[in-house]
Amino acid sequence: MNMKKFLAILVALIMVFSFAACGDEETDTFADADLRVGYIFIGPINDGGFTQSMYEGAVASKEHFAGAMDFKYRENVTEDTQEVKNTGLSLIDEGCNVIIACSYGFGDAMKELSEEYSDVTFLHFSGSMKNDTNFDNWFGSMEQARYLTGMAAASVSESNILGYVAAHPYTEVQIGINAFTLGAQAVNPDVEVKVVYIGTWGDAEKEKNGAEELLNEGADVITYHADSTAAQLAAAEKDAWAIGWNFPKNDAGDKYLTAAYWNPEVYFNYVLQNILDGKFAPESYYGTMADGLIAIDKLNDAVPADVQQKIADTKAKMEAGEFEVFTGPINYKDGSVLCEEGKTLDRAGIWSINSEIDGVSASSTN
Partner 1 sequence: MNVKIIKRKDIPKHKEVIIRIMAVLLSIVFAGVILLAFGLNPLKIFGAIIDGSAGSEIRIKQTVLRAVPLLITSLGIIVAFKMKFWNIGAEGQITMGALGATWVALNLPEGLPAPFMLGSMMLGGFICGAIWAFIPAIFKAKMGTNETIFTLMMNYIAIKFVTYLQYGPWRDPGAQGFPKIAKFTENAILPSVLGVNIGWIIALICVAIIYVFMTRTKKGYEIAVVGESVQTARYAGINISRVIVIAMLISGGLCGIVGFIQASAIEKTLIAGIAGGYGFTAIITAWLSRLNAITCLFVCIAFAMLIQGGSYIQVSLGVSSAISGLVQGVILFFVLGSEFFLQYRLEFPKKPVKEVA
Residue 89 as a binder of partner 1 (CB under 8 A): the answer is: yes
The answer for residues whose C-beta is within 8 angstroms of residue 262's C-beta and 6 or more apart is 50, 53, 54, 57, 140, 246, 247, 293, 294, 295
The three-point CA angle 329-333-339 to 5° equals 25
Report the alpha-carbon distance of residue 222 to residue 241 in Å, rounded.
Answer: 6
Least separation, in Å, of the C-beta of 362 and partner 1?
Answer: 13
Least separation, in Å, of the C-beta of 268 and partner 1?
Answer: 18
Residue 56 as a binder of partner 1 (CB under 8 A): the answer is: no
Contact status, residue 201 vs residue 137, Cβ threshold 8 Å:
no
- Select from 79-87, 184-192, 236-244, 253-261 the region that touches partner 1 (CB under 8 A): 79-87
Residue 346 as a binder of partner 1 (CB under 8 A): the answer is: no
The residue from 33, 81, 319, 358 that contacts partner 1 (CB under 8 A) is 81
The residue from 59, 78, 205, 304 that contacts partner 1 (CB under 8 A) is 78
Report the alpha-carbon distance of residue 166 to residue 202 in Å, rounded.
Answer: 10
Nearest to residue 185, comparing CAs of 213, 162, 217? 162
Binding mask 211-230 for partner 1 (x = CB under 8 A): --------------------
Residue 61 as a binder of partner 1 (CB under 8 A): the answer is: no
Amino acid at position 29, single letter? T
Contact status, residue 286 vs residue 128, Cβ threshold 8 Å:
no
Residue 232 as a binder of partner 1 (CB under 8 A): the answer is: no
Report the alpha-carbon distance of residue 327 to residue 182 in Å, rounded.
Answer: 10
- Select from 77-85, 144-152, 183-191, 319-327 the region that touches partner 1 (CB under 8 A): 77-85
Least separation, in Å, of the C-beta of 270 and partner 1?
Answer: 25
User: In this structure, how many other beta carbons lie within 10 angstroms of the beta carbon of residue 17?
Assistant: 10
Residue 348 as a binder of partner 1 (CB under 8 A): the answer is: no
Least separation, in Å, of the C-beta of 133 and partner 1?
Answer: 22
Pairing of strands 69-74, 35-41: parallel
Nearest to residue 98, comparing CAs of 20, 167, 39? 39
The residue from 5, 66, 93, 278 that contacts partner 1 (CB under 8 A) is 93
Least separation, in Å, of the C-beta of 20 and partner 1?
Answer: 7
In this structure, what is the dihedral angle of CA atoms 166, 168, 174, 175, given to the nearest 10 degrees? -90
The residue from 33, 68, 97, 108 that contacts partner 1 (CB under 8 A) is 108
Least separation, in Å, of the C-beta of 288 and partner 1?
Answer: 20
Our measurement of the distance from residue 176's CA atom to the centroid of its chain's CA atoms, rounded to an integer in Å, reads: 12
Least separation, in Å, of the C-beta of 366 and partner 1?
Answer: 7
Report the alpha-carbon distance of residue 40 to residue 222 in Å, rounded.
Answer: 29
Residues numbered 136 to 175 that lie near partner 1 (CB under 8 A) are 168-172, 174
Please compute, for residue 316, the number of CA atoms within 13 A of its CA located in the half-sphere on the CB side. Answer: 6
Size of the site for partner 1 (CB under 8 A): 50
Residue 119 as a binder of partner 1 (CB under 8 A): the answer is: no
Residue 290 as a binder of partner 1 (CB under 8 A): the answer is: no
What region, left, alpha or beta, does residue 298 occupy, with left being phi > 0 and alpha being psi -120 to 50 degrees? beta
Residue 334 as a binder of partner 1 (CB under 8 A): the answer is: no
| Sign of the alpha-carbon dihedral angle for 235, 245, 256, 305 | positive
- Select from 15-23, 252-260, 261-269, 299-307 the region that touches partner 1 (CB under 8 A): 15-23
Question: Residue numbers of the site for partner 1 (CB under 8 A)?
Answer: 3-4, 6-7, 10-11, 13-14, 17-18, 20-21, 24, 38, 44-45, 72-76, 78-83, 85-87, 89-94, 104, 108, 127-128, 168-172, 174, 199, 351, 354, 366
